[in-house]
Structure 1
Amino acid sequence: MRKIFGLFGVLMFFAVACSSERDTFTNRAFHNLTAHFNAYYLADQKIKDVETQVRTNYKEDYTQVLPVFVPIDSATIQQNKAKLDSARDMASKAIEWHKISKWKDDSYYLLGKIDYLQAQQDDALNAFKYVNSTSKDNDLRHQTLISLLRLYIDKGEIENANFTIDYLSKESGISDENRYELYRTLAYYYEVRDDANGIIGALDRALEYGEDKKEKSRINFILAQLYQREGLDALAYDYYKRALDGNPPYERSFFATLYAQQVAELNASKDLRKVRNYYEDLYKDPKNKDLKDVVVYEQALFEEKQGDIPLTLDLLHQAAKEPGTNPRIKGYIYQKLAEIHIEEFKDYRATKYYLDSALTFIKADDPAASVIQERKITLDNYVFHQERIQLNDSLIILAEKTPEEQEAIALAYIKSEEERLVREAREKEQPKNSNIFNNLLAFSGRDAGSSFYFDNGVAMQQGAIEFNRNWGSRPLQDNWRRRSAIFQTSAQPEEIKASEDSLANQENPILAGLPTKESLLAQIPTTPEIKEQINLELEESYFELGKLLYFEFNEPLLSIENLETLIRNYPNSNKKPEAYYLLFLGQRDTGGNSQQYVSRLNREFPDSQYTFSVNNPNAASGNVAYLAASKDYEEAYNAYYSGQYSRASQIIRSTLEQYPLTRTTEKLLLLDIMVIGKTQSKDRFKERLEGYIENTKDESLVALAKQMLRPLLSAEELAALAPKEEEEADSTATPAENLTPENLKIPENSPYKINDAQTHIFVISMSPEESEKAKNLLGDLENFHGQNFKNSRLRTGNMNMSTEEAIFIISPFSNSEAAYEYYKKFSSDFKSEGLPDEVKAKAFFISIENFQILNKTKNVEEYLLFFRSLYQ
């Protein structure tokens, strides 16, 4: 009976303790225990498991500066949905079933972390804010504020992030663990703002509080990369060495060792044999079998610095074939090949195809992909027209031959391809040289003297899989394009296939892809309609290629060649007047006989706008062409300063073609060069500026071009400039932002001055009554800034200029260009309840110096007159 009563007593104790309503010592102890170990702990472990998987699944790109935080992969989160749902359920039970436990706020924090991982930002924000406002645990509050800071940075709410940083900076008693996360999050803040010095400072502080050796190794590697890019090789070397501590992953150790060697010895070494031996040893090391593409790529970059372009190209082609674990490396390899082919050889066709290849390895959302796409637009047009000319010219030539001659050409082509394929297969059968410079076969991992590739079914299957993964399903026309373009159809380039009977009869698998005689002959045009279509395409392509070569590639001689072919082969072309004008420009630029095309335009097209332009180059100031060109210039200017470089270029091209010689032409050309400065190489930018300076008569524009050119010159070139020339350039140069559409004259006796380089503020002026109605203005401005100017750290405020004038101020803007960009966006997109359109139309920006004058005079209308004269 005593045992029964004892057991009954224990049960009664737990029954009473289980109550979540009674706040007694016994109840709290019970709920603290069960909430912690039955709910919170298990939920926390599941969340940590998912975070570990995110880090494990992420593929680091050690050729670029590593991100401070590993990006959260939505696919990994989706794969672990059940685990996160289970963690959410446990954390919720810790809140609902154990209301009086001290783990309630901690469980709310876990719910916020789950929402954050699942990209439910608003829910995560509410959870973190709740914990920060209710928790009495300082460590938990600090942890929550740090998570809140990271969320604000993710959302681009920089003002809120700044406020949180300021708040945390005043907090005391922050634990070492929280300080470590705080400094990492600060590094992330500076990373988003592209502030390398800020990242370095924050990560250096984080190292003081970090305990995880592998994570410290990663931070040291990031610091080394940043120091290397800043040119501080000694510091970079030191941090690369530190990155080897803590048993890091082999790939990180490999890159840390490689880059440490580069900054310490390789880049400065004059013993080329020693450097090449070093790379060859790395290549032969069996531990680096999955990093061979990196080794060869890095050596290619080294050889490029030595000026050995042929060897660089050989190594880059080899690197593209080598095995590797990071697909982006292949993208960088092809991007480098494209860069060399356009800068060294001006081979636009090869450049386009190398950039195509780069994009197959670089994801569409990668910043590098957008740069490549922008650069490819013109190259795609060039290659399209070049290949269409090559194809259609050959088809026209073949169409003129007899059937017997056509058949003989087709058979000769097939025979030459058979011999080529067999010869290349025999070369692949040779034992492979282990030397890094000769190992150019795709399957470099196989032993010397291995069996012939095409007799090895497994190797062929692996090759097919790898090709399909890298290139997708491609028609054979890509394989034969360079050699058999003469046999491809012009209207629809389709895959050239051998007939089934022919394929069945081919015993050698090497020749399985060869076209048949019948399929080649079928491509030759036979009817007048097809021939006419081919000639129309040729006419268009010669003309478009001439324009591209002149305007986009600055190749006037090649442009002349294509345009003269157009005129010779198609004398009745409706493109002839414009072609004459382009030939006039090309001959003028190269010192040729440009007057012959002036005579032809006057003789053949007396009423053409191009004839009027060449006859009256200075008479366009008052005509419709000038007004239309000025309007287009304004549109192109706005597109340029909003970052729409492709659109700006298209408008400039179109305007120059429609209105070739107006007073706006030279400004259009300079704006076109400014676009090139944003989208192409520095060498190309420099080349165009030098040509512009030589051929432009407008002294103010020449001075501006010289100002743009000066940062691109070497120390020797700068020293060669005459001091007088430099002084003239400085005195007459106009800031780029002043290249505005036909500025009006500044009002006489105006107290205001142009101070474009000064800090500017943006002002919304209204009456006190209007200010009272616009109650939501400040909040709407904050939201507007968060959506459109995330990284600008803009602040808003208001003041009374007088009893009749209230103003709202947005600041700071580093110069007039930045303020003008904001002004355009505000005028077109900003909306706020209670803000009348007439008040919005009176908004303006003003330099600090001019604002001091305005604050004294209180005459807003006087400044608006000055402002509108310059910017509207």
Structure 2
Amino acid sequence: MAIIVQNCSRKKDTFINRNFHALGTKYNILYNGNIALDRGKLAINDAYTENFWELLPVERMQVNEDVFLPGQSKNADFERAEEKAIKAIQKHGMNIGGKEKNPQIDEAYLLLGKARYYDQRFVPALAAFNNILNKYPTSDKINQVKIWREKSNMRLDNNEGAIKKLKRLLEEEELEDQDLADATATLAQAYINIKAKDSAIALLGIAAENTKVKSEKARFHFIRGQLYNEFEEKDSANIEFDAIIDMHRQIPRAFYINAHLEKSYNFDAEKGNEVEFLEYLTDLEENRENRPFLDKIYYRIAEFHRYKASDSLAEAYYNKSLRKVTSDKYLRALNYETVGNMYFDRNVYKTAGAYYDSTLTAMTPNTKPYRVLKRKRENLDDVIYYEGVAQVNDSILHMVSLPKEEQLAIYAKYAEALKDKALEEEQRMEEEKKNRESTQRTALNSTKDKNVVSGMSPRGLPGFSSTGSDNGSSFYFYNTTTVAYGKNEFLKIWGDRKLQDNWRLSREKAGIKNSEKTENVTSITGEEDQYNPEIYIASLPTEQTVLDSISKERNFAYYQLGIIYREKFKELLLSKSRFEDLLQNNPEERLILPSKYNLYKIYTELGLSNKAEAMKADIVTNYPDSRYAEIILNPQSELSKDENSPEVIYTNLYKKFENEEYAEVIAEAGKQIKRLEGDDFLPKFEILKASAKGRLYGFEEYKKGIDYIALTYPNTDEGKKAQELLQNAIPVLAKKEFVEDDKAKHFNVVYQFENGSGEDIDAFVKTLNEEIEKKIKYFDLTTSVDVYDENTRFVVVHGLTSIQGATGFAQLLQSDEKDSRGRPVKPKITKDYFAISSPNYAIIQRHKNLNAYLKLE
């Protein structure tokens, strides 16, 4: 025992001691630690998903942004590897005379640094690597340690320092094989990080030549190919992708397929053979080994057909790509958005909107592409709405304008189509009924024959004889013949029922939609009346007021569409057609001038100089005093910065609103609303006018203004805000009941002044502030002058904490004073007042019900 204990000592530098600890460190502790490290690396690789849509990183590792407390680990395997490394250092380190005698301790520190690095604790990892460089400069792992140290520095965004040290390492040391591959690959990543991508290409080539790991070789070639594509050197990129393709089954299939696809994107459609290229893509599609990657292959084929303007084939392949189950959200978003754009270009906006909705579900929220598409989708809501209004109203007005004979012919044709459709549906259901009866008879005969063979009566339980003994038949739901018989019996008794609660009590059957439209037709016209053309003719509007309202709504829809297409989607031709259609339909006066100005701008942008000049002359001649004429005659300024621009006018008017000049705001806003018909700034003036009316005339006027904005400008930001106010704020503001004083925390004293009374409000406020400063020492009081209505103003003292305190304060100001000789002096504040809580003061300002409050006192 004494000999064994002596040999285990870490303080004696003997041959036996050194080798005892070295062997124990290498084959026990470090062996288990490296197994844990490899297991952790494997878990990282399994969790990592390559994003071939972007430039691949040199190292396959995803850095998370999660914050962990000191001592916490993200991965139990790396924690175990770190524990083993620390154990080796603490239990088997032989630091004698300032030198380490155990040759495995540098390996332990290297394991420690790697475990921390993969656990994404880069600062402690850097400390472990620096420890090796400082204490074990002659270690055979010293070059690997230097590479790992710079990898840690790069993760800490010290790319410049890493480049400097790695270049020195490559110049001073003769690295070979994997060490050379690791050093050059790490240096290449550092250059990529600082956007010096051209310097990375040659280094990755060296790394690809020297690495012995096939997956790394494929990765380096792929990154080189991506970089060459960025520099538009397609031939060089294809050489790199061919190198990957030649490795075939030696590398992960994902690299092989994506190399094919990247190479296909470099195909020159103008010079290349399109037939051979399509065969090449078809071979990729039909290869059974490529089934897990069909989503990307289908997308590439769709892109080829879209380039060839074969939209129907392209859409079919985009949808085939979408139907493949994939974890690639970027590809799903790309498919949805591309198909949505195709429908958008064909002006099928409702379908385009549905595809954009699906695109948003596959995108990362709050990113720039997400916000751009979301804004486009929201704009599309307006297009869908106004196109629907225009289409329906155009149809109604067109039908009304036709002679009755033509109306009768159109509706007769429509009724005939309804009859044919109903007849086809009836024939289909009759055919289905015959098929069910035939299947039922077949199933019943088959079941009877089987029962005879098995000794079971037709009413016996399937799978058991009439005596109750098991005959070895399968359970009921595993017997397809018996299940088919049961289904047919159910259909015969109950019909084709919808899957829902209380299905036995419901009258609805599967496949039959009980829409409001159907209910209305059957309840009003009956089943036979829907085939009577006279019913439809009778439903057409005939009153001129109704027709005028429909025409007005249609014209406004055309105007809004013209604005949206021009401003939000840059679809000048569509915008042009909407404005031209509008002007041909006898629009309201307020829409004519802005429509003509927009057409002038569109004609100019499209290069239609003759039409632009004619429209310019029309505007300048017929509307010489208008803002639009001024813009045309002075195109350099466009009134964007002068005193007549809507922005400047609105800003100045808002300052008057803040200064409580409500009457002037109302008058000026009304003037600008008439002047700016059709301008985007118009709703802002409307809401400012409504707010000023509310402050001056009370809640009801404010509500009327907000309601008008919500109805007139439903698709502007102001209109949507008004709708929110009507739903949420208006019901709360409508309450007139006064709050009990004991429930309030803040109180005011109010002095009332009538306009034209001759009283000097400014002088009163000055005196009031002086008296407050002289007599009140314990409260932080403030004063304000508030408008109540057109004839009344309030001087208000704020900051009191009770109704009794407010009353006492006012009485204190009115109490007699004495001069320096003790003689009574008349108080300076003698005006009548009333005390009120802050919530009740808000109510009287909102509803202008001061008299109702005073009667309560």
TM-score, length basis structure 1? 0.50
Q: Which residue in 2 is equivalent to 1:108?
A: 109
Aligned partners of 1:86 and 1:71: how far apart in 2? Answer: 20
Deviations 1:37-70 (A, max 9, x none): 3333322221221112222333334565543222
Aligned partners of 1:301 and 1:208: how far apart in 2? Answer: 34
Moved more, 283-292 or 205-214: 283-292
Match 1:43 to one of 14, 26, 33: 33
C-alpha spacing 1:391/1:264, structure 2 compared with 1 (3 Å): closer
For the pair shown, which has the larger CA radius of gyration, 1 or 2?
A: 2
Q: Which residue in 2 is equivalent to 1:182?
A: 183
Match 2:380 to one of 369, 380, 383: 383
User: How far is 1:306 from its partner?
Assistant: 4.0
C-alpha RMSD over aligned residues: 5.6
Match 1:248 to one of 246, 251, 254: 251
Aligned partners of 1:358 and 1:425: how far apart in 2? Answer: 38
Aligned partners of 1:423 and 1:330: how far apart in 2? Answer: 41
Q: Which residue in 1 is equivalent to 2:690?
A: none
C-alpha spacing 1:166/1:413, structure 2 compared with 1 (3 Å): farther
Match 1:549 to one of 557, 561, 565: 565
Counterpart contact for 1:72–1:117, Cα < 8 Å? no
Match 2:303 to one of 290, 301, 304: 301
Match 2:575 to one of 556, 559, 572: 559
Q: Which residue in 2 is equivalent to 1:136?
A: 137
C-alpha spacing 1:340/1:103, structure 2 compared with 1 (3 Å): farther
Aligned partners of 1:135 and 1:424: how far apart in 2? Answer: 87
State percent identity of aligned pairs: 20
Aligned-partner SS, 1:585: helix
User: How far is 1:210 from its partner?
Assistant: 1.0
Counterpart contact for 2:36–2:77, Cα < 8 Å? yes
Aligned partners of 1:196 and 1:299: how far apart in 2? Answer: 31
Q: Which residue in 2 is equivalent to 1:126?
A: 127
Match 1:313 to one of 312, 315, 329: 315
1:624 aligns with 2:642: yes
Aligned partners of 1:189 and 1:132: how far apart in 2? Answer: 21
Name the structure, 1 or 2, with higher relative contact order (CA <8 Å, separation 6+): 1
Q: Which residue in 1 is equivalent to 2:405?
A: none
Counterpart contact for 1:20–1:99, Cα < 8 Å? yes
Counterpart contact for 2:159–2:194, Cα < 8 Å? no
Aligned partners of 2:108 and 2:285: how far apart in 1? Answer: 51
Q: Which residue in 2 is equivalent to 1:53?
A: 43
Aligned-partner SS, 1:107: helix
Letter paired with 1:88: E
Map 1:608-687 → 2, pairs under 5 A: 609-617=627-635, 624=642
Aligned partners of 1:536 and 1:132: how far apart in 2? Answer: 83
User: How far is 1:383 from its partner?
Assistant: 0.4
Aligned partners of 1:70 and 1:234: how far apart in 2? Answer: 24
User: How far is 1:172 from its partner?
Assistant: 1.4
Aligned-partner SS, 2:172: coil
Counterpart contact for 1:341–1:350, Cα < 8 Å? yes
C-alpha spacing 1:148/1:79, structure 2 compared with 1 (3 Å): closer
Aligned partners of 1:327 and 1:384: how far apart in 2? Answer: 25
User: How far is 1:362 from its partner?
Assistant: 4.7
Map 1:710-789 → 2, pairs under 5 A: none
C-alpha spacing 1:170/1:261, structure 2 compared with 1 (3 Å): closer
1:89 aligns with 2:83: yes
C-alpha spacing 1:376/1:159, structure 2 compared with 1 (3 Å): same
Aligned partners of 1:374 and 1:358: how far apart in 2? Answer: 12
User: How far is 1:280 from its partner?
Assistant: 3.7
User: How far is 1:212 from its partner?
Assistant: 1.8
Match 1:98 to one of 92, 95, 102: 92
Match 1:585 to one of 586, 590, 601: 601
C-alpha spacing 1:422/1:131, structure 2 compared with 1 (3 Å): farther
Letter paired with 1:207: A
Aligned partners of 1:197 and 1:424: how far apart in 2? Answer: 68
Counterpart contact for 1:237–1:260, Cα < 8 Å? no
C-alpha spacing 1:79/1:233, structure 2 compared with 1 (3 Å): farther
Moved more, 595-604 or 321-330: 595-604
User: How far is 1:515 from its partner?
Assistant: 6.6
1:28 aligns with 2:18: yes
Q: Which residue in 1 is equivalent to 2:206?
A: 205
1:13 aligns with 2:3: yes
Aligned partners of 1:24 and 1:572: how far apart in 2? Answer: 108
**How many equivalent residue pairs?**
537
Letter paired with 2:180: R
Deviations 1:105-137 (A, max 9, x none): 433333333333333333333333343333324
Aligned partners of 1:192 and 1:108: how far apart in 2? Answer: 28
Aligned partners of 2:576 and 2:277: how far apart in 1? Answer: 47
C-alpha spacing 1:132/1:594, structure 2 compared with 1 (3 Å): farther
Match 1:332 to one of 331, 334, 340: 334
Unaligned ranges ≥5, structure 1: 1-10, 403-407, 427-450, 456-496, 523-532, 631-655, 660-872
TM-score, length basis structure 2? 0.51
Deviations 1:516-553 (A, max 9, x none): 7469999xxxxxxxxxx999999997666433422344
Match 1:68 to one of 36, 42, 58: 58
Aligned partners of 1:421 and 1:325: how far apart in 2? Answer: 41
Q: Which residue in 1 is equivalent to 2:155?
A: 154
Map 1:227-306 → 2, pairs under 5 A: 227=228, 230-233=232-235, 236-237=238-239, 239-245=241-247, 247-256=250-259, 269-270=272-273, 272=275, 274-306=276-308
Counterpart contact for 2:294–2:324, Cα < 8 Å? yes
User: How far is 1:88 from its partner?
Assistant: 2.2
User: How far is 1:360 from its partner?
Assistant: 3.6
Unaligned ranges ≥5, structure 2: 95-101, 401-411, 431-479, 485-498, 524-548, 649-678, 683-857
